[in-house]
Structure 1
Amino acid sequence: MQDIELINLWKSYSQKLDDSLALNRKNAEDLTKIKVQSLLASMKPLKLFTLLVGILWVIFVDSLLIVLFPFASPFFLVSAAIQVLLTKLAIGIYLYQLILIQQVDISEPIIKTQDTLARLTASTLWVTRLLFLQLPVWTTFYLTTRLVENGTGAFYLVQSAITLAFTILAIWLFRNINYANRDKQWFRLVFEGKEWSPVMKSMELLNQIEAYKTGTH
């Protein structure tokens, strides 16, 4: 009789322990989701500010292109057109990111939030790539036909060296800005801050919850 009572008591204790662990796991998951939502929300002010500045810049450059088109230097027109096109693409990505952040719902499964974080990560990498592609045109927009025609050897040498260096740097960054290089020092220098850190921290938190749920942590 005592053995049966002990077994029942152990089963009861085991059930209470399982219930307590399940409750703790659920609370930990809910708290993590709230923290992730807070981290992502912290990105919104900077993205909204960047978006506003970008829109104002596009309006300004587009106005210049329209006003100066009949008599501006071809170098300026082409450089400004490339720059403003890339900026417009970046604005589109920032809008997409703000929509993603707004759609984050802590009541959804973790895998849904992880998918959103993956999209934020990929779009952040792409917008940075596009913005760095602007580097070469910042070395050519001030050139004029007269300056090029009457330039000295020293001018051609310096100008070519600067434009080539910026072009190589832009291409190198475009090719090497990817998730695989996230732990490299130069990558951290480029991405440290509100544009990147909250996403990485959020991914880390969700991965910890997943590991805890599967018993691999």
Structure 2
Amino acid sequence: MQDIELQQLWKSYDQKLQEQLVFNRQNASDITKMKVKSELTAMRPIKLFTVLAGILWILFLDILVINLFPVGNAYFLISAGFISLVNKIAVGIYLYQLVLISVVNINAPVMSTQKKIAGLVTSTLWVTRILMLQLPFWTTFFLSSAWIGSANPLFWIIQVSITVAFAGASIWLFINIRYENRDKRWFKFLFGSYEWTPIMKAQEMLVQIKDYEEETL
């Protein structure tokens, strides 16, 4: 009789223990979901500021291009026009990211949230790659036909060297800014912590949530 009672007590204890483990995992999953949302929400102010600053910068460049177009300074018009175009694309991508952040639902399936995080990762890489393409045009916007016509060989050597160096850097960065290089020092320096780190933290926490849910099943 005592053996039967002991077995029942043991089964009851084991059942309560399992229920407690499931409860703890569920709580851990819920807390982690809130952390994911917090990490993503923290990115919104800086992205919103970037969009507003980008719009003002684009307006400034476009006004300059329109007003100086009759002057016919091709070097400035082409350089400023390309810089403006690149920044317009960047602002569009940042707006897309703001939409992604706003539609993230922490109660949605993990796979759905992971897709949105993947969209943030991909768009962050692409917006940085695209912005790098404007680098060489910052070395040519101030040139003019009259200045070039009267320039001495030393000017040409310095100007061409700087422009080629910036062009080479922009191409190298465009090619090498990839997810596979995220642990490299230059990559971390380029992206900083305010934009890239929250995405990586959210990505890691989503893996934890998925593990919690699988253990609960």
Q: Same fold (TM over 0.5)?
A: yes
Q: TM-score, normalised by structure 2?
A: 0.95
In 1, Cα distance between the equivalents of 2:164 and 2:9? 79
User: Where does residue 58 of structure 1 map in the other structure?
Assistant: 58
CA-atom RMSD in angstroms: 1.3
User: Where does residue 21 of structure 2 map in the other structure?
Assistant: 21
Matched, 1:34 2:34: yes
Task: After TM superposition, give the deviation of residue 208 of structure 1 in Å.
Answer: 2.5
- 1:69 is paired with a residue whose SS is helix
C-alpha offsets along residues 63-89 of structure 1, whole Å, 9 cap, x if unaligned?
111111111410101111110110000
The one of the two structures with greater contact order (alpha-carbon pairs below 8 A, sep at least 6) is: 2
What letter corresponds to residue 86 of structure 1 in structure 2? V
Residues 125 and 178 of structure 2 are in contact (CA less than 8 Å); yes or no, is this contact kept in structure 1?
yes
C-alpha offsets along residues 36-76 of structure 1, whole Å, 9 cap, x if unaligned?
11111111111111100100111111111111111141010
Matched, 1:175 2:175: yes
Task: After TM superposition, give the deviation of residue 122 of structure 1 in Å.
Answer: 0.7
C-alpha offsets along residues 12-40 of structure 1, whole Å, 9 cap, x if unaligned?
11211111111111111110111111111
What letter corresponds to residue 107 of structure 2 in structure 1? S
Task: After TM superposition, give the deviation of residue 108 of structure 1 in Å.
Answer: 1.0
In 1, Cα distance between the equivalents of 2:43 and 2:25? 28
User: Where does residue 7 of structure 1 map in the other structure?
Assistant: 7
C-alpha offsets along residues 144-178 of structure 1, whole Å, 9 cap, x if unaligned?
01112221111111000000000000000000001
User: Where does residue 91 of structure 1 map in the other structure?
Assistant: 91
User: Where does residue 207 of structure 1 map in the other structure?
Assistant: 207
In 2, Cα distance between the equivalents of 1:146 and 1:109? 63
User: Where does residue 161 of structure 1 map in the other structure?
Assistant: 161
Task: After TM superposition, give the deviation of residue 99 of structure 1 in Å.
Answer: 0.3
C-alpha offsets along residues 93-132 of structure 1, whole Å, 9 cap, x if unaligned?
0000000010111211222221111111111111111111
User: Where does residue 122 of structure 1 map in the other structure?
Assistant: 122
What letter corresponds to residue 133 of structure 1 in structure 2? L
- Aligned structure 1 segments of 4 or more residues deviating by more than 3 angstroms: 211-215
What letter corresponds to residue 167 of structure 1 in structure 2? A
User: Where does residue 71 of structure 1 map in the other structure?
Assistant: 71
In the alignment, structure 1 segments of 5+ residues that lack a partner are none
Q: TM-score, normalised by structure 1?
A: 0.95
Residues 29 and 212 of structure 2 are in contact (CA less than 8 Å); yes or no, is this contact kept in structure 1?
no
The percent of aligned pairs where both chains have the same amino acid is 53
In 2, Cα distance between the equivalents of 1:166 and 1:202? 34
Residues 29 and 213 of structure 2 are in contact (CA less than 8 Å); yes or no, is this contact kept in structure 1?
no
Task: After TM superposition, give the deviation of residue 213 of structure 1 in Å.
Answer: 4.4
In 2, Cα distance between the equivalents of 1:30 and 1:111? 16
C-alpha offsets along residues 175-208 of structure 1, whole Å, 9 cap, x if unaligned?
0001000000111101122111111111122223
Task: After TM superposition, give the deviation of residue 212 of structure 1 in Å.
Answer: 4.5
- 2:107 is paired with a residue whose SS is coil
Aligned residue pairs total: 215
User: Where does residue 101 of structure 1 map in the other structure?
Assistant: 101
Which stretch shows the higher mean deviation, 89-98 or 200-209? 200-209
